Amino acid sequence: MTALVVGASGFLGSVLIQHAVRSGRPVVATYATRPGRAAGVIWRQLDLREPSSIEAVFTAGVPEVVINASSGGSDWDVTADGAGRLALAARTHGAHLVHVSSDAVFSGGRSPYAESSRPDPVSPYGAAKAAAETAVRLIAPDAVVARTSLIVGNGDSEHERLVHGLIQGTRTGALYTDDIRCPVHVHDLASALWELTDSRFGGMYHLAGADAVSRHELGELIARRDALDASLLPAALRATSGLPGGLDVRLACRATCQELHTRLRGAREFLVGRGC
């Protein structure tokens, strides 16, 4: 069963590719500007802003399943409209779609959020992701929409690089003590996404870690795992920063976990030591 992974050169996408190659799954991997380093896959350039680019990728590979792990930030043409274009292509070609969304679709005013909770974004990025969800669910009703939270790895995520940079003095800023999320390990997330892909489930799912922590506590956990001085991490309040976005945005995953075999560990567990 050939799978198309959109955004395969990104952090999550690259791990999805690792899992696919390890299991012997045929994969077509897309990139926006430059291909990833993974061997054993077919790399194709894709511009989600261009319907012709999407159609060319589908007709060349004819995938049976599609995982959209792309990240266009608050760029509406990529994140929102691009997701709709991809959903339309998946429906036209009879491919099962798994769309990766974000906890940014919520304001934080009614946390924790269940799979049935309606989006109420308060940031440009959240608005684009919420619009993408709506487009996908309307165009491809059998698709999976999988919301996730902060994604952490074994040293190679943006959150981990920020912690190292703050402690080493190569980056400026602070970690917020009032910004609550449910971080997930990238390998747990990738496993869950492939499980949803293979099961041909449809509907809304929450793929987040079991622990709700602040960004500052997450930074402390990363620092301790990596034998760094966590006391050097600067702290601040997001509420006074002027940045848009929700504060307490916890994803409840009870309904999702009842259907999946993959266990979504909490940050206090997966950041105790190295490895996955």
Predicted local confidence at residue 39, as pLDDT: 84
Q: Within the chain, where are the H helices?
A: 11-23, 51-61, 76-79, 81-92, 124-139, 158-168, 186-199, 215-225, 254-257, 267-270
Mean pLDDT of all residues in 214-223: 98
pLDDT for res 276: 35
For residue range 121-138, list pLDDT tens digits in order.
999 999 999 999 999 999
Distance separating alpha carbons of residues 149 and 193, to the nearest angstrom: 14
Return the pLDDT at 273.
Answer: 60
**Tokens linked to 148:** 């996730």
Which one has a higher pLDDT value, 38 or 213?
213
Q: Are 4 and 67 in contact (CB under 8 A)?
A: yes
Q: Is the pLDDT of residue 24 over 70?
A: yes
Q: 28-39, pLDDT tens digit by residue? A: 999 998 888 888
To the nearest whole percent, how much of the chain has pLDDT over 90? 92
Does position 62 have pLDDT exceeding 90, yes or no? Answer: no
Instruction: Express as a percent the part of the chain with pLDDT over 70.
Output: 99
Q: Check pLDDT > 70 for residue 275.
A: no
Average model confidence (pLDDT) across the chain: 95
> Given a cut of 60, is residue 142 above it in pLDDT?
yes
- Residue 61: pLDDT band (50, 70, 90) is confident
How far apart are the two ends of the chain, measured CA to CA in Å?
27
